[in-house]
A and B are shown apart, each in its own frame.
Chain A
Amino acid sequence: MTPSQRAQVGKIVRTVLINGLAIIMAIPLYYIVINTFKTTLDMAKSPFGLPEHWSLQHYVDVFGTLPIVQSFINSIIVTVFAVFFEVMIGALAAYGMILRNSKFTAAVGAVLMIAFCIPVQATLIPLYKMEASVGLVDSLLGLIILYLANSIFCYMLTVGYMRKLPMEVLEAARIDGAGPFRIFRVIVLPMITPILATVVVFQTLSTWNDFMLPNIFLTSTDLRTVILQVYNAMGQFTTDWPAFMTITVIALVPVVIFFIFCQRWIVSGLVAGSVKG
Chain B
Amino acid sequence: MSRHDQSQEVPAGAPSAGAPDAKTPWYKTGKFAESAASTGFLFPIIVVFLVLSAVPLVQTIYYSFTDFNGFQAHPNFVGLQNYQKVFTDPSLLVGLGFTVLFAVLTTLITTVLAIPLAVALNSKFYGRSFARSLFFFLGVPSLIVLGLVWQYILSPLKTGALNSVLISMGLKSVPWLSDSNLARGAVIFVAIWAAVGWHATLYLAYLQAVPKDLYEQASVDGANGFQQFIHITLPQLVPGIVVSTFLLITNGLKVYDLPFGMTKGGPGYATNTITQAIIVQGISQSQYGLGSALAVLFTIACMIVVLGQQLLTGIITRRFA
Contacts and interface: CB of A to CB of B under 8 A. Distances in A.
A180 B205 contact: no
B120 A118 contact: no
A251 B278 contact: no
B45 A89 contact: yes
Given A124-B278, A252-B141, A14 B120 contact: yes
Interface string B257-299: 1001100000000000011001100110000100110011011
Interface in A11-28: 11-12, 14-15, 17-19, 22-23, 25-26, 28
Interface in A90-125: 90, 92-93, 95-102, 104-105, 108, 111-112, 115, 117-119, 121-125
Contact of B42 (A11, A105, A263): A105
B14 A180 contact: yes
B40 interface: yes
A90 B53 CA distance: 15
Given A180-B34, A259-B137, A241 B205 contact: no
Given A99-B27, A171-B25, A180-B33, A93 B44 contact: yes
A92 B85 CA distance: 44
A98 B288 CA distance: 41
A231 interface: yes
Contact of A123 (B25, B35, B52, B127): B52
Interface residues of B, number: 99
Interface string A24-50: 011011011000000000001001100
Interface in B1-28: 1, 6, 10, 13-15, 20, 25-28
A244 B25 contact: no
A121 B275 contact: yes
A211 B144 contact: yes
B102 interface: no
B320 interface: no
Contacts of B134: 22-23, 25-26
B30 A100 contact: yes
Contacts of A111: 49
A267 interface: yes
A196 B27 CA distance: 23
A137 B32 CA distance: 41
B38 A99 contact: yes
A21 B183 CA distance: 24
B283 A125 contact: yes
Contact of A28 (B39, B144, B150, B306): B150
A227 B144 contact: yes
Interface stretch (B75-83, B173-181, B193-201, B227-235): B193-201
Contacts of A180: 10, 14, 33-34, 37-38, 41
Nearest to B297: A122
A277 interface: yes
Interface string B181-192: 000000000000
A171 B34 CA distance: 12
A234 interface: yes
A179 interface: yes
Contact of B56 (A17, A127, A251, A252): A127
Contact of A179 (B14, B140, B152, B261): B14
Contacts of B123: 14
A277 B141 CA distance: 20
Contacts of B140: 205, 255, 259, 266
Nearest to B283: A128
Given A89-B44, A99-B38, A152-B48, A125 B14 contact: no
A122 B6 contact: no
A22 B60 CA distance: 45
Contacts of B56: 122-123, 125-127, 130
B35 A100 contact: yes
Interface stretch (B86-94, B104-112, B158-166, B210-218): B158-166
B124 to A, nearest CB: 6
A274 B260 CA distance: 26
B125 interface: yes
Nearest to B40: A96
A167 B27 contact: yes
B238 interface: no
A274 B1 contact: no
B153 A31 contact: yes
A177 interface: yes
B315 interface: no
Given A28-B150, A92-B45, A212-B257, A11 B126 contact: yes
Contacts of B54: 115
Interface of B: 1, 6, 10, 13-15, 20, 25-28, 30, 33-35, 37-42, 44-46, 48-49, 52-57, 59-60, 63, 70, 120-121, 123-127, 130-131, 133-138, 140-146, 148-153, 159, 161, 164-165, 193, 197-198, 201-202, 205, 243, 246-247, 250, 254, 256-257, 260-261, 274-275, 278-279, 282-283, 288, 291-292, 295-296, 298-299, 302-303, 306
Which 5 pairs of residues, A with B, have the shortest CB-CB distance?
A96-B41, A179-B14, A123-B56, A209-B142, A126-B56
